[in-house]
Amino acid sequence: MQKEKILELKNEQEIITDSLWILGERSKDFGHKNAYHGNFIPQIPRQFIKRFTEENDVVVDAFLGSGTTLIECRELKRFGIGVELQESVIEMAKNIILQNNNGFFDNSFNLENFNLKIIQGDTASKKVFFEIENQLTNWKKKIKLLFLHPPYFDIIKFSDNKDDLSNAPNIEIFYEMMGKVIDNYLPLMEKGSHVVFVMGDKYQDSQWIPLSFGSMQEILKRKELILKSIIVKNISGNRAKISQEQLWRYRALTGGYFIFKHEYIFFFKKIK
Ligand SMILES: C[S@@+](CC[C@H](N)C(=O)[O-])C[C@H]1O[C@@H](n2cnc3c(N)ncnc32)[C@H](O)[C@@H]1O
């Protein structure tokens, strides 16, 4: 990284350099809305985009959902591509991304005005690969930063589509599907570029299932990638009602376990 950029970041107090992230309220800047169950807090893409890319670099979100990453791209002047399986979710994302200052969809804006593109399809498919490759060729660029915020296996069912990672028949197949996703993107990424992978764990049959570390191991089978950091982030903004908290506390005490209050952000660098 250039010396000037390091000095600039050093003075920017907002940039976090520790591996424990206790984030406060979900950011409502730039028209972000908390409209999609399973969205991530905008501070996640913002931290990585600001620190690891420059203006006009290409940022890709392989599981776009409600468009959080592309809103950040629009605002921070990065070229952005988002891939999402569900048509209806893409419509929602477009409405949020293309809103005017009053918070309403503005049909005089379009995604190209902001160097943004949304692709509908299975993020692990050849169709999606070729569409991204085509867009990158038009822009004469490669991917600088890739976000992976997939379903946390079957915790939230996002659709009935068999390609949806939340419908993986078992955990082994979920890990395999994750592997296919990363294989689809690596050839489109620059040497020295980065991957951000956000994932939580689950509790099932009285056991903690470490989905996050299982997926991380699958990703690390790709020798082009090295692990740079594992960040532990608090889960904020979805605090249960006090009565429910008491119920969870009772369940934890009787079941002999601890209640989930964190998730992970795995950060990789492409070295080849
Ligand atoms: C955890 S959400 C992502 C939320 C997003 N970060 C946001 O802030 O709104 C995961 C998304 O991945 C989508 N998805 C699941 N499997 C997919 C696949 N094979 N290809 C593309 N999208 C997929 C789901 O429809 C869902 O919208």
Q: What are phi and psi of 135, to 5 degrees?
A: -65, -40
Q: What is the pLDDT of residue 106?
A: 72
- Atom nearest to 152 CA in ligand 1: 1
The residue among 199, 123, 209, 118 whose CA lies nearest residue 172 is: 209
Give the Cα separation of 200 and 86 in Å (integer): 22
Q: What is the pLDDT of residue 9?
A: 86
CA angle (220, 222, 223) in 5-degree steps: 95
The CA 39 to ligand 1 mean position distance, Å, reads 9
Tell me, using a 6 A CB cutoff, whether residue 167 lines ligand 1.
Answer: no
**pLDDT by 10s per residue, the chain, length 272:** 788 888 888 888 889 999 999 998 888 888 888 888 899 999 999 999 999 999 999 999 999 999 999 999 999 999 999 999 999 999 999 999 988 666 666 777 799 999 999 999 999 999 999 999 999 999 999 999 999 999 999 999 999 999 999 999 999 999 999 999 999 999 999 999 999 999 999 999 999 999 999 999 999 999 999 999 999 999 965 555 667 888 989 999 999 999 999 999 999 999 99
| Strands of the 143-148 sheet, one edge to the other | 20-21, 225-234, 262-270, 189-199, 143-148, 58-61, 79-84, 116-120
Closest CA to ligand 1's atom 27? 65
Q: How far is CA 68 from the centre of its chain?
A: 9
Give the Cα separation of 106 and 114 in Å (integer): 13
Q: Which residues of 222-238 are buried (b: 16+ CB within 10 A; e: fewer)?
A: beebeeeeebebeeeee
Structure tokens at 40: 């991530």
CATH number of the domain at 18-270, please? 3.40.50.150
The CA 256 to ligand 1 mean position distance, Å, reads 33
Structure tokens at 9: 């970041």
Tell me, using a 6 A CB cutoff, whether residue 89 lines ligand 1.
Answer: yes
Q: How many CB atoms lie within 10 A of CB 184?
A: 19
Domain boundaries, the chain: 18-270
**Residues 265 and 197 sit within 8 Å (Cβ to Cβ):** yes
